[in-house]
Amino acid sequence: MIDPMRAHEPLGATHHGGAIELGSPDSNAGNRIASSEAWIGLGGLLVTGLIIALAAAHTSLLLPASLRSLRPVSTWLFGAFTHVELNIGLAGIIAVLVSMFLFYALTLRAVQHLSRRAVLISIAALNALVLLAPPLLSTDLFSYIAYGRLGSTYGVNPYLHGPNVIAFDPLYHLVGAQWTHTPTAYGPLFTALSYPLAGLDIAANVFAYKAVAAISCLAIVVLVWQAAQLRGLDPVKAVALVGLNPVIVIYGVGGGHNDLLMLAILVAAIYVLLRQREGTGGAMIIAATAVKLTAGVLLPFAVAASAGRRVATSGRARIIGGAALAAAVFGALGLIMFGSGTFHLLGTLSNIQGQGGLHSIPGFILTAIGLKQYNGLVGDILHVAYAISIVWLVRKVWIGEMDWITAAGWATVGLLVSAGLLMPWYIAWLIPLAALSTDRRLWLTAIGLTSLGLTSL
């Protein structure tokens, strides 16, 4: 059970104090109640996931904005449930997502009363449901397809031009209006992977990206399970936090977001680092960064963690060497395929982050209190504070005062809080790190930020 008063204890800790003894009638009754809570939570997650999957094709607000006016809805672009003419409206969406979060929290509260089979089957079922639904709540997936077509079909550098240069392509009207002039903000590995998919028709492309997201989600679950065992944590609790997370399932898999591919590679890096395969771990961190730059946050913590070992020098050298080799490989890939275009990536990201406004924590707060004119200033202050916090956290790991996965988790929290543009699926970046952390406060923060993500339609 999640207890804020014991936030300092490891996730696997149990409390034996108090008057209640194991085997007493009160204890047995409490166990039965907790078991009922767990099964109600798990069942509620499946029911709410099913409602979203069944209703999406005919509930406009669950669809990406560019897909809402497209008719007929009988095409495969709208998923496998188009014959179910269920429209739950805005009130229904709010009720379902709020309920889904509450069921998620209830499941985590009593997850120790669930079998591993029940948790894993439920994770697989939720993934299957949203995979068969239409793309949910975001147009990003159509941008992925557009960038692939820019380069593969039309010979246009996606790092220098946005989808507006192929306005004649049938896909163009599905790209989010605010992103039509924006070049790709993704790493060269992901952009290169989008090229082979460009020849598929739109519906096939959509479900190819959703399938990649679903497979990535399941890979994350498997890797978190293995890593949790290496860390001495309860693997069922760890994978429940990740695999049942509504933001990961509804936004990540439902929206076909590449964040899950990035996380799958990153969690694989954590796993191999825990197995003390430092060179491979360093290379995989860079591979994840070549999908989405966010993954690079983990590298300094991995390097700092190796400083606390007796084989510190060789450990650090292997991590840095593996990272350097991978950076050279993916840098060469970028130059060969995109020329100097990848040099514009940071500028594109900076421009995108500058457009956050209300879609960021500081921007929302400042607008709510009537001080939105200070958004730029506050953003600059937060960025400086974040850089300082990274240095402080890395130092704590270096001198052995903080666990490196926990520190990377708090660094990710800082990144989310200070971001100029915070999209709901960005919360997924934190969840696997929290699942593998021994800090219950990070676990609770991940749950709290999940609730924030689900309210950010």
Q: Supply the pLDDT for residue 334.
A: 93
Is it the case that residue 428 has pLDDT exceeding 80? yes
pLDDT: is 10 or 82 the higher one?
Answer: 82
Asked if residues 54 and 81 have their Cβ atoms less than 8 Å apart, the reply is yes
Q: Supply the pLDDT for residue 6.
A: 37
> How many other β-carbons are positioned within 10 Å of the β-carbon of residue 287?
22
Angle subtended by helix axes 278-289 and 259-274, to nearest 10: 170
217 alpha-carbon distance from chain centroid: 9
Instruction: Give the type of residue at 70.
Output: L
Q: Supply the pLDDT for residue 364.
A: 78
Asked if residues 420 and 356 have their Cβ atoms less than 8 Å apart, the reply is yes
Q: Supply the pLDDT for residue 31.
A: 73
Distance between CA 181 and CA 283 in Å, rounded?
A: 33
Distance between CA 178 and CA 100 in Å, rounded?
A: 30
pLDDT tens per residue, range 42-61: 999 999 999 999 999 889 89
pLDDT tens per residue, range 192-238: 999 999 888 888 999 999 999 999 999 999 999 999 999 999 999 99
Is the bond preceding 72 in cis, omega lying within 30 degrees of 0? yes
Q: What is the mean pLDDT of the chain?
A: 87
Q: Supply the pLDDT for residue 373.
A: 76
Q: Supply the pLDDT for residue 149.
A: 94
pLDDT tens per residue, range 269-309: 999 999 989 999 999 999 999 999 999 999 999 999 876 55
Q: Supply the pLDDT for residue 357.
A: 63
Distance between CA 82 and CA 241 in Å, rounded?
A: 31
> What's the predicted TM-score (pTM) here?
0.88
Is it the case that residue 102 has pLDDT exceeding 90? yes
How many residues make up the chain in this entry? 457
Is it the case that residue 313 has pLDDT exceeding 70? no
Asked if residues 415 and 427 have their Cβ atoms less than 8 Å apart, the reply is no
Is it the case that residue 438 has pLDDT exceeding 50? yes
Is it the case that residue 40 has pLDDT exceeding 60? yes
Distance between CA 264 and CA 251 in Å, rounded?
A: 16
Take residue 433 and report the two structure tokens written for it.
Answer: 């790190």
Distance between CA 362 and CA 441 in Å, rounded?
A: 22
Distance between CA 295 and CA 280 in Å, rounded?
A: 15
Q: Supply the pLDDT for residue 453.
A: 83
Asked if residues 390 and 299 have their Cβ atoms less than 8 Å apart, the reply is no
Q: Supply the pLDDT for residue 85.
A: 86
Mean pLDDT of 164-188: 91
pLDDT tens per residue, range 256-273: 999 999 999 999 999 999
Instruction: Give the type of residue at 13.
Output: A
Is it the case that residue 5 has pLDDT exceeding 90? no
Take residue 340 and report the two structure tokens written for it.
Answer: 């100097």
Residue 71 — very low, low, confident or very high, per pLDDT cuts 50/70/90? Answer: low
Is it the case that residue 11 has pLDDT exceeding 50? no
Angle ∠(429,432,435) on CA atoms, nearest 5: 140
Q: Supply the pLDDT for residue 178.
A: 86
pLDDT tens per residue, range 362-391: 877 888 787 877 777 887 888 899 999 999
Q: Which of 150-154, 311-315, 449-453 has the lowest mean pLDDT?
A: 311-315
Mean pLDDT of 49-78: 83
Using the Cα atoms of residue 179, residue 180, residue 183 and residue 189 in order, give the sign of their dihedral.
Answer: positive
Is it the case that residue 114 has pLDDT exceeding 80? yes
Mean pLDDT of 54-71: 85
Q: Which of 75-84, 151-160, 395-404 has the lowest mean pLDDT?
A: 75-84
3-state secondary structure of 187: coil
Distance between CA 410 and CA 397 in Å, rounded?
A: 12
CA torsion 392-362-246-29 (nearest 10°) is 70
Distance between CA 321 and CA 394 in Å, rounded?
A: 19
Q: Supply the pLDDT for residue 356.
A: 58
Distance between CA 396 and CA 402 in Å, rounded?
A: 5
Mean pLDDT of 316-337: 93
Is it the case that residue 456 has pLDDT exceeding 70? no
